[in-house]
Amino acid sequence: MTSRLWRSVLLASALALTACATNPYTERQQLLLLPESEDVKLGAQAYDQVLHDPKVKISHDPREVEPVKRVAARIIEAAKSSKYAERARQFDWEVTVIKNDKTMNAFALPGGKIAVYTGIFPVAKNEAGLAAILGHEVTHALARHGAERMSQGLLAQLGMEAASIALGTGTNPAVGQATMAALGLGVNVGVLLPFSRAHESEADHVGLLLAAQAGYDPHEAVHVWERMEQLSKNQPPEFLSTHPGHGTRIKQLEEWMPEALSYYHPQPGFHAADLPALAPR
């Protein structure tokens, strides 16, 4: 074995062994190679880039902004008393509503940067549905799923480099390209994408608990994905998707519902209002 190959193997092994963490809710082992400060820095940069995109229109309409900020505030408070409390209290939270009725999306970045596109309103339908969505997105940030994905990519890159050296691909470019293409496909479909689906399921699970803890009926999360299933078209097959199928999500949410209900304590007089209807297209 060449010294270069040894270095690649040893580095990959050392990183894998010394950078493990455990999700406090699901007890899933996580590989985290990046310092948390780097997460927050990258999150802030990405958020700034989105908001300064000339194609992005920030909503200042109180009918759109106020319900989003109201729900986000309750989710953030729940996060600050969750198993991620220390991280949630350190985040510099910020919430923006983006006026784009065609985009069914919302995200939360490391550091607590949240954006909600108005196109998600018909999916959420009401503030409880939006709480399920924001609980999911906030969990991605709190659980450091982005850093874990980058860590997996780095480790895969080191592994592919070691494989390339071991197979001697540099001496036969045609064979090397075919081999590395096969390895790349195997890595992407067999290792990386399933981890991403694990992230999505974990965000569904913990997000459900955060929404319930924030005072929103967790049953609404099931209705969110039922509406998403009706509104989504041409979804790729589940085994090639980074997201679980809608049916899988609904089944899992129903399985987690008893746990979520243990977090849910309805407040007298509290009502999850409907979100504003979008203008006809």
Is the residue at 275 inside a domain? no
- pLDDT of 10 > 80? The answer is no
- pLDDT of 167 > 70? The answer is no
CATH number at residue 92: 3.40.390
2 confidence band (pLDDT: 50, 70, 90): very low
Residue-wise pLDDT for 239-272, tens only, equals 556 677 888 899 999 999 999 999 999 988 888 8
Cα torsion for 104, 109, 113, 119, to the nearest 10°? 0
Domain count of the fold of the chain? 1
Distances (CA, A) of 168 to 72, 103, 159, 163: 53, 47, 14, 8
Mean pLDDT over 69-73 rounds to 98
Note the pLDDT of residue 69.
Answer: 98
Active site residue 220: no
Of the listed ranges 43-52, 80-89, 188-197, the one predicted with least confidence: 188-197
Is the residue at 142 inside a domain? yes
Give the integer Cα–Cα distance in Å for 65 and 98. Answer: 9
Instruction: Identify which has the larger pLDDT, 113 or 163.
Output: 113
Note the pLDDT of residue 39.
Answer: 85
Q: Identify the active-site residue in 137, 161, 200, 202.
A: 137
Query: Average model confidence (pLDDT) for the chain?
Result: 81
Distances (CA, A) of 202 to 131, 193, 269: 16, 14, 31
90 confidence band (pLDDT: 50, 70, 90): very high
Instruction: Identify which has the larger pLDDT, 12 or 198.
Output: 198
Residue-wise pLDDT for 216-236, tens only, equals 999 999 999 999 888 877 666
Mean pLDDT over 192-208 rounds to 82
Is the residue at 83 inside a domain? yes
Distances (CA, A) of 268 to 42, 181, 265: 41, 59, 10
Note the pLDDT of residue 281.
Answer: 63
Residue-wise pLDDT for 119-134, tens only, equals 999 999 999 999 999 9
Give the integer Cα–Cα distance in Å for 124 and 280. Answer: 17
Note the pLDDT of residue 163.
Answer: 45
The answer to whether the Cα torsion of 243, 247, 250, 255 is positive or negative is negative
Is the residue at 281 inside a domain? no
Give the integer Cα–Cα distance in Å for 83 and 60. Answer: 33
Is the residue at 269 inside a domain? no
Is the residue at 229 inside a domain? yes
**Which residues form the domain of 73?**
3-263
